[in-house]
């Protein structure tokens, strides 16, 4: 998907369907959980 945006293969204005928005939110939440877990592990070990 990034490849398509980067090289202009699709327009930047895309109607985001509900599944794509849900996947995006899930991915962001998972990333935040991983960051928080890493931060807490570091804090615990220090």
Q: What does the domain layout of the chain look like in residue ranges?
A: 15-46
Instruction: Characterise 3 by phi-psi region: left (phi > 0), alpha (psi -120 to 50), beta (else).
Output: alpha
- Does the structure show a pLDDT above 90 at 1? no
- What pLDDT does residue 25 have? 94
Interval 4-45: pLDDT, tens:
666 666 665 556 788 888 999 999 999 999 999 999 999 999
Quick one: pLDDT at residue 34?
97
Residue 12: phi and psi, rounded to 5, are -75, -20
- Cβ-contact 12, 5 below 8 angstroms: yes
Altogether, the residues listed in the chain come to a count of: 46
């Amino acid at each position: 998907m990034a490849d398509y945006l980067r090289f202009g293969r699709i327009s930047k204005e895309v109607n985001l369907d509900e599944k794509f928005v849900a996947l995006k939110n899930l991915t962001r939440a998972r990333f935040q959980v991983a960051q928080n877990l890493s931060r807490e592990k570091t804090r615990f070990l220090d």
